[in-house]
Amino acid sequence: MNSSLALSLATFIYGLSSVFYIGSFAFKKQILAKPGFIVLVIGFLSNTAGIIIRWIESHQMGYGYAPFSNMYESLVFFSWAIAVLYIFVELKYKENIIGMFATPLIFLAIAYASLSPDISSKISPLIPALKSNWLIAHVITCFLGYAGFALAFGFSIIYFVKSKNSDAASIFAKLPSWDLIDELTYQMVVFGFLFLTIGIITGAVWANSAWGTYWSWDPKETWSLITWFIYAIFLHLRMMRGWHGKNLAWVSIIGFMAVMFTYFGVNFLLSGLHSYG
């Protein structure tokens, strides 16, 4: 099996898992969520295998780098990171209905990597700036942070869905309590904020070794800082009276929009030192 096959299988399996979770939610059939979780774990294992095999293939081709260097590889790792974080959340809280709001994010990330004509899956030599031991630490920490923010975004959407459909007879009646949604959102933001902070620090150290400066106000750096500030505001507001639930959910959603612009917008719309995705 090569990496392309493993990752294609992961895309299909994640999609199937989403179908199970959405079906469980739409048809009020809790039993569908259980195979959905099993399928999700299988997809995660296929995703993991694809990353490892691609790493081995790069060595066989003489390039020998960790597969986190371009848009395709980062999206594959992004889906992996959301999957592993969500699996942990479901195992801990036993609230499998929230998978309906998490698994589509996992599927969309890897599906976009696999199906977009603008993204190449070809293994290519690294440009000089990426030939650094800081590559793994920087990319892994940043995308673990993004995964936390992605799940916080998904949980924030639950808050709005539940608030508009609180009738006990509706299909939304089995959604988690307000307090649990609020707590899950907060925990995912804390997780994401911690890893984004580490990612920015490792990126600064890497930038100094590659370009001779810790900070150059490159568009990616600037938008990473904007994203960091939005989530710092989220954490500050949560300690203030009156800032919880729907109000904080809006900040979480805005923060994830900043994450998406940092990730996609900077690469496709702005030019800078990070425009090699």
pLDDT in tens, 178-195: 889 999 999 999 999 999
Prediction pTM value = 0.92
pLDDT of residue 163: 60
Kindly tell me if the per-residue pLDDT of 269 is higher than 70: no
| pLDDT at residue 236, rounded to an integer | 94
Q: Of 70, 19, 72, which Cα lies nearest the Cα of 50? A: 72
- Average the pLDDT over each of 35-39, 209-213, 214-218 and give the range with the smallest value: 209-213
pLDDT for the residue 272: 54
- State the average pLDDT over residues 107-116: 92
